[in-house]
């Protein structure tokens, strides 16, 4: 019970970061800074690493929803697609990091991160394909996923540069370890 309470608390903190961080990037004055820097992705991916796959997926679903309710970003038309994509980010980063033993090597965090990013974009493209071809919703289709990936290259670079060192620092400090634990001495 204690661990679940901690995960809920940390999950709420990660969601708050996922709402606030995009707002800070929008202050930069860069047009479409959310699409360029992908600031909401950073807390969600970290949520998967820290909280595990199921809480990571929940953080991925709730982050864009809470942000949309509080800030009207993402727009309602984009919201379901972001919820799906970010849920996959949280789920896959948590699964890769906590289930597979890549982490015995330093590259494990990078492999987990890149796999989560790739899976998220693939599922995003599939969701757009389904929306256009099976549901008749006009949203740009899978080409929009390619466009989003190209315009988001700066954000992808930021994620690759920031997330692994943060995960390593959290491991060294004892907040997370490789065995699905959060905070020293508590088992998830």
Does the pLDDT at position 155 exceed 60?
Answer: yes
Mean pLDDT of the chain: 87
Residue with tokens 């906590």: 98
Query: What's the pLDDT at 179?
Result: 45
Residue range 157-176: mean pLDDT, rounded: 90
Q: Residues of the chain with pLDDT > 90: what percent?
A: 60
**pLDDT in the model for residue 1:** 58
Confidence of residue 186 (pLDDT cuts 50, 70, 90): very low
Distance CA(15)–CA(60), nearest Å, equals 8
**pTM, full prediction:** 0.89
Q: For 32, list phi and psi in degrees, rounded to 5.
A: 50, 45
């Amino acid at each position: 019970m204690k661990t679940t309470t901690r995960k809920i608390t940390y999950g709420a903190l990660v969601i708050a970061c996922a709402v606030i961080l995009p707002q800070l990037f929008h202050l930069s004055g860069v047009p479409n800074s959310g699409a360029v820097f992908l600031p909401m992705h950073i807390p969600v991916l970290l949520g998967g690493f820290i909280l595990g796959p199921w809480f990571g997926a929940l953080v991925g679903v709730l982050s864009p929803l809470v942000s949309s309710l509080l800030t009207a970003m993402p727009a309602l038309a984009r919201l379901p697609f972001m919820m799906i994509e970010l849920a996959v980010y949280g789920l896959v980063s948590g699964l890769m990091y906590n289930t597979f033993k890549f982490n015995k090597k330093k590259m494990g965090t990078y492999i987990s991160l890149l796999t989560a990013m790739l899976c998220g974009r693939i599922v995003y493209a599939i969701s757009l394909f389904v929306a256009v071809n099976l549901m008749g919703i006009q949203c740009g289709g899978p080409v929009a996923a390619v466009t989003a990936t190209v315009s988001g290259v700066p954000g992808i670079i930021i994620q690759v540069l920031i997330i692994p060192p943060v995960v390593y620092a959290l491991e060294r400090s004892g907040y997370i370890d490789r065995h699905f634990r959060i905070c020293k001495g508590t088992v998830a």
